[in-house]
């Protein structure tokens, strides 16, 4: 039998522990095994991303490469720079590959990419082997057991999961790895914009093509890579890598009471250093932590606590079920999942669209699609102030500033800012907010981001639009003294706690004492480009009257629910919804 020469393609599975795909590669008893990662232009050049997420990725690569080298000093993570659709066929030939192995990814772009790559592999006589490992259950199997439909609630996910079978126990990391073979790369490089599958425009001025290469002692992880990829330096304190993830998990599990009795609604969104939840989500995104390892370590502990432990959906294992629910929903719906347009499960709501967004224009992975469009320059200003953390509502501004700087905020913080931007204040389209989260989140996951935005905006998953987060009372409930606000909105750090959530109500004497004036719009002006140019010692006035806007939004939501049409309705698709 021909000896196996395996190309193991790491993507969002940057770990050695509990990797069914890596195990499948090793089961082939390969003569050589090449662990590779390719910077995919779809993500690097065509989608948004702050330096923070890319630094996290480099951290994960670096750590993984070091771990590979520990198991075999001749090996490391080979990082290549070209679209896999054009690069891999050349590698198959140059490295005489017999098998391509990778972990399955149900994200809609990833599915298309993998279909193309698998077909190219077939043409090259290379066998493709895949396994699932990103979720507790195989999302496609969940969908199949749910009658081909998306899972729109935890109960549906649990019922379908039960039919799929028990959540598999994690498998151990390998103790050795085969040698890699020679790695000639003297072939022509295709530049990303030459790829016919990648038709979104390259970010102007930021595209710096680089040669396909295999770099570094462990790969391609120098800090200057961020700059080469066109990203600003990272600001986040959160760092990536399997070693860190496993240590974080150990520390969490060591606090047995916390782990077994965790109840999400009782964790504070205002807690910082340390935060009140695990902060493992970026590790799940990059695969530096297996969700099944997390699940089983928590579950084993819970079983010892018997009746006093928490249960799904509030428990820690319940949080992982939400993740699986969104993955399976996306797996069933496909690419329309991340938008309203053409999405049969998304309620159509005629949001205000900021004025510069033209109908039908694609603006990114979360493009606002379709014909419907209420022109609103005011909504654009609200959106810009929300994004800049200059709404004049300290609770919202603190969260948005933490999000931009750290790349992570607590789940209920995400609830607050998402509700405020959409149905609970500004009535701006949820896809605009999801775009900002895509840009800034370390843990950005298309299925979880879109699904949660749909939930919060009451377009899918959740319909109690009358339950609205106050940008004042909700923060107050968790943090009377406003310590979180003081941390992220230093303009207000010396303000009396009585006014910290509503500084516009503070008397002159309190403001003078705190050395701050409440005035202006955060430097936004009418053009929208002057954000941040506000005067020293000032904090903006609130950009809306919340009580008034809550009422406007509630009335509008009520009407949208009465009309009751979804994103795949012909009237939405052909732009005649106004006639209703």
Tokens of 433: 């907010």
- Selected range binding ligand FAD among 142-150, 227-235, 320-328, 492-500, rule: CB under 6 A: 320-328
Fill in the per-residue mask, 321 to 340: x = in contact with ligand FAD (CB under 6 A), - = not in contact.
Answer: -xx--x--------------
- Selected range binding ligand FAD among 224-232, 239-247, 275-283, 519-527, rule: CB under 6 A: 275-283
Can you spell out the DSSP letters for 193-225?
GG-TT--SPPPTTT---------SSSSS--THH
87/368 with CB nearer ligand FAD:
368
Q: Is 565 left (phi over 0), alpha (psi -120 to 50) or beta?
A: beta
Binning the chain into helix, strand and coil, the percentages to the nearest 5 are 45, 5, 45
Tokens of 65: 């490469």
Fill in the per-residue mask, 255 to 274: x = in contact with ligand FAD (CB under 6 A), - = not in contact.
Answer: ---------x----------
Told to check if 245 binds ligand FAD by CB under 6 A, we report no
- Selected range binding ligand FAD among 80-88, 236-244, 449-457, 487-495, rule: CB under 6 A: 449-457
User: Quick one: which of 215, 248, 279, 367 contacts ligand FAD (CB under 6 A)?
Assistant: 279
Told to check if 484 binds ligand FAD by CB under 6 A, we report no
User: Quick one: which of 77, 245, 456, 516 contacts ligand FAD (CB under 6 A)?
Assistant: 456
Told to check if 48 binds ligand FAD by CB under 6 A, we report no
Number of residues that bind ligand FAD (CB under 6 A): 29
Told to check if 317 binds ligand FAD by CB under 6 A, we report no
Least Å distance, CB 419 to ligand FAD, is 9
Told to check if 135 binds ligand FAD by CB under 6 A, we report no
Q: Is 342 left (phi over 0), alpha (psi -120 to 50) or beta?
A: left
- Greatest alpha-carbon pair distance for the chain in Å reads 86
Before 313, cis peptide (omega within 30)? yes
Q: According to CB under 6 A, which residues from 399 to 438 bind ligand FAD?
A: 410-411, 414-415, 418, 437
Closest CA to 300 of 264, 263, 260: 260
Least Å distance, CB 442 to ligand FAD, is 9
Told to check if 16 binds ligand FAD by CB under 6 A, we report no
User: Quick one: which of 399, 448, 516, 544 contacts ligand FAD (CB under 6 A)?
Assistant: 448
Burial class for 398, CB neighbours closer than 10 Å (0-12, 13-18, 19+): buried
User: Quick one: which of 292, 444, 486, 534 contacts ligand FAD (CB under 6 A)?
Assistant: 444
Told to check if 218 binds ligand FAD by CB under 6 A, we report no
487/573 with CB nearer ligand FAD:
487
Told to check if 445 binds ligand FAD by CB under 6 A, we report yes
Please identify which residue in the block is written with the tokens 């709501």.
Answer: 349
Tokens of 39: 């910077």
Burial 193-230 (b: 16+ CB within 10 A, else e): bebeebebebeeeebeeeebeeebebbbbeeebbeebb
Rounded to 5°, angle at Cα 205 from 403 and 11 = 55
Least Å distance, CB 386 to ligand FAD, is 13
Cα separation of 557 and 249, whole Å? Answer: 41
Residues that bind ligand FAD (CB under 6 A): 264, 277-281, 284-285, 316, 319-320, 322-323, 326, 410-411, 414-415, 418, 437, 441, 443-445, 448-449, 452-453, 456
């Amino acid at each position: 039998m021909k000896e196996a020469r395996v190309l193991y393609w790491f993507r969002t599975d940057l770990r050695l522990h509990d990797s069914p795909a890596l195990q499948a590669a090793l089961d082939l008893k390969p003569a050589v095994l090449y662990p590779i990662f390719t910077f995919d232009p779809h993500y690097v050049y065509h989608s948004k991303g702050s330096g923070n997420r890319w630094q996290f990725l480099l951290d994960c690569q670096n750590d993984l490469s070091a771990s590979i080298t520990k198991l075999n000093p001749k090996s490391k993570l080979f990082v290549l720079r070209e679209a896999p659709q054009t690069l891999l066929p050349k590698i198959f030939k140059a490295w005489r590959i017999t098998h391509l192995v990778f972990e399955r990814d149900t994200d809609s772009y990833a599915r298309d990419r993998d279909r193309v790559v698998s077909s190219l592999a077939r043409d090259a006589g290379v066998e493709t082997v895949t396994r699932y490992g990103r979720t507790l259950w195989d999302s496609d199997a969940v969908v199949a057991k749910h009658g081909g439909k998306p899972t729109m609630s935890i109960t549906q996910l649990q019922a379908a999961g039960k039919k799929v079978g028990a959540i598999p126990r994690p498998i151990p990391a390998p103790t050795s790895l085969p040698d890699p073979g020679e790695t000639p790369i003297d072939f022509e490089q295709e530049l990303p914009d030459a790829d016919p599958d990648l038709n979104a425009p390259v970010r102007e001025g930021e595209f710096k093509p680089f040669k396909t290469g295999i770099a570094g002692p462990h790969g391609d992880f120098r800090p200057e890579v961020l700059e080469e990829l066109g990203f600003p330096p990272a600001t986040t304190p959160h760092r990536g890598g399997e070693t860190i993830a496993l240590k974080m998990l150990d520390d969490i599990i060591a606090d047995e009471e916390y782990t077994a009795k965790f109840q999400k609604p009782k964790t504070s969104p205002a807690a910082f250093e340390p935060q009140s939840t695990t902060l493992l989500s970026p590790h799940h995104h990059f695969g530096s932590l297996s969700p099944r390892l997390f699940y089983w370590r928590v579950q084993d502990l819970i079983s010892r606590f018997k009746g006093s432990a928490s249960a799904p959906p509030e428990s820690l294992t319940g949080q992982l079920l939400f993740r699986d629910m969104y993955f399976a929903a996306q797996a069933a719906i496909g690419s329309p999942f991340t938008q309203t347009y053409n999405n049969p499960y998304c309620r159509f709501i005629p949001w205000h669209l900021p004025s510069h967004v033209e109908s039908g224009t694609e603006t990114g992975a979360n493009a606002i699609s379709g014909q419907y469009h209420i022109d609103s320059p005011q909504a654009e200003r609200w959106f810009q102030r929300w994004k800049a953390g200059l709404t004049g509502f300290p609770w919202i501004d603190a969260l948005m500033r933490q999000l931009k700087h750290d790349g992570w905020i607590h789940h209920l913080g995400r609830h607050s800012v998402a509700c405020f931007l959409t149905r609970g204040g500004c009535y701006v389209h949820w896809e605009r907010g999801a775009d900002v989260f895509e840009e800034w989140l370390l843990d950005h996951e298309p299925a979880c981001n879109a699904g949660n935005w749909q939930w919060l905006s009451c377009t899918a998953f959740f319909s109690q639009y009358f339950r609205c987060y106050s940008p004042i009372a909700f923060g107050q409930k968790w943090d009377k003294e406003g310590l979180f606000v003081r941390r992220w909105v230093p303009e207000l750090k010396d303000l009396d706690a009585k006014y910290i959530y509503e500084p516009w109500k503070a008397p002159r004497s309190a403001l003078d004492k705190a050395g701050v004036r409440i005035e202006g719009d955060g430097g936004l002006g009418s053009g929208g480009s002057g954000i941040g140019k506000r005067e020293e010692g000032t904090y903006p006035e609130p950009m809306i009257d919340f009580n008034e806007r809550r009422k406007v939004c509630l009335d509008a939501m009520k009407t949208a629910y009465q009309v009751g049409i979804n994103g795949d309705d012909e009237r939405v698709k052909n732009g005649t919804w106004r006639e209703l």
